[in-house]
Amino acid sequence: MNILPPMMIVWHHCVQKHLGDAVDVVIFDCSGKLHAEEFPGARVQKFLNFYAATKSDEFLRHIAKHRRIGWICDDDVFPISGDMLPILQREFQVEKTASVSFKPRTWWHFDIDGTSAAPSGSYCIAFDRRIFVEEEGLSLAPMDGNPHPADVGRPPGRYDTADKANEILLRKGYRCAIVEREERERCVAAFSGMSGAVMLLSSFRRPEQVVSYYQSPEKKQWGGNVLYGTLASMLAICTIQECYEQLRGKRYPLPSLPSRKELEKIRHEHEPYLRSDQSFAWVDEQGDKLKQAL
């Protein structure tokens, strides 16, 4: 499900290279800017940019209705290993497995009758449709009233996409498998929170305006989430542009995106003002993994 065309080009390339024709690929074009001929072997479906849960439910209930497994993967989570397929096959062979996740949530956990379990997340997760849709009739819709405890920061208070369905499956005795960390690290390269940076790039016309956006606030504001999160995503978009250029021989036109040199300068100037739990290092690590996987 995509609003940044160069990212979809890179994602599709990774899927083709590492998963081949062992999967059927459906791409939701939520920007209206994708061209189907650029994605051979995939179905490109124009779709309004509703909430992720709405799009995911549509996929599981209708588009994938003739498949046992419906696999949802964010466009900023890049498959980088063919090992993903045998891992899925292995996990779904275990009795009562309803889902298999390659990218769980890590900052809070379920506490169900004294038993702790990690939330599967919705970033890269495969569902057994016979269980999820046909037998249990579940939805990935978010909702309020999440009572479970946090591992970092404040308790969630709200069920994000797929979280409530995850809890229902666990309470009914289904297995919601989470791939072991070592295998996850080998199988995916992932960014997060990309939509914030994409919206900024859409709001501004020139790189100088984006630079000013980051230079104007007081330094103490860098201890929050917005400036840090969107700059991390801007750096990730630079990596996407570099990957796109490697694949296509030219850069995708993003007129308001500053150069990497400018963004790195902003990064180094403001890193001292981040919270202790914030770092840009993970963007570099994931970017290196993605480039090596091309």
pLDDT, residue 153, reads 85
Q: Residue range 245-265: average pLDDT?
A: 97
Domain that holds residue 198: 191-293
**Banded pLDDT at 251 (limits 50, 70, 90):** very high
**Residues present in the chain in total:** 294
**Judgement on whether residues 137 and 167 belong to the same structural domain of the protein:** yes
How do residues 156-198 score in pLDDT, each as one tens digit?
999 999 999 999 999 999 999 999 999 999 999 999 989 999 9
**Whether residues 224 and 177 fall in one domain:** no
Same domain, 195 and 135: no
Q: Please, what is the average pLDDT of the chain?
A: 96
Following DSSP, what letter does each residue of 2-65 receive, concatenated? BS-HHHHHHHHHHHHHHHGGGS-EEEEESSS---GGGSTTEEEEE-----HHHHHHHIIIIITT
Domain match, 184 and 216 both: no
Is residue 123 domain-shared with residue 202, that is, in the same domain?
no
User: Residue 221 carries which DSSP code?
Assistant: G
Nearest to 233 by CA among 54, 1, 3: 3
Same domain for 231 and 134: no
**Are 41 and 162 members of one domain?**
yes
- pLDDT, mean of residues 46-57: 93
Query: How far is C-alpha 224 from the geometric centre of its chain's CA atoms?
Result: 21
Residue 35 has pLDDT above 90, yes or no: yes
**Domain CATH for 94:** 3.90.550
Give pLDDT, residue 152.
87
Extract the tokens encoding 241. Answer: 């542009």
Q: Give the separation between CA 240 and CA 236, rounded to whole angstroms.
A: 6
H or E segment and range at residue 117: strand 115-117
Residue 114 and residue 249 share a domain: no
16 plus 127 within the same structural domain: yes
The burial class, CB within 10 Å (0-12 / 13-18 / 19+), for 182 is exposed
Number of domains in the chain: 2
Do residues 91 and 69 touch, judged by C-beta distance below 8 A?
A: no
60 pLDDT more than 90: yes
Q: Specify which residues 127 forms β-bridges with.
A: 70, 99
Both 246 and 280 in a single domain?
yes
SS3 content of the chain, % helix, strand, coil (to 5): 45, 15, 35
What DSSP string describes 67-88?
-SEEEEE-TTEEE--TTHHHHH
Same domain, residue pair 38 and 184: yes
- Rounded Cα distance, 76 and 122, in Å: 12
Among residues 159, 188, 217, which one ends one of the domains?
Answer: 188
Q: Are residues 139 and 196 in the same domain?
A: no
- Torsion angle of alpha carbons 226, 228, 229, 231, nearest 10°? 110
Nearest to 222 by CA among 270, 151, 286: 270
Q: Write out the two tokens for 268.
A: 């180094």
Which residue type, as a one-letter code, is found at position 169? L
Domain boundary among 171, 188, 205: 188
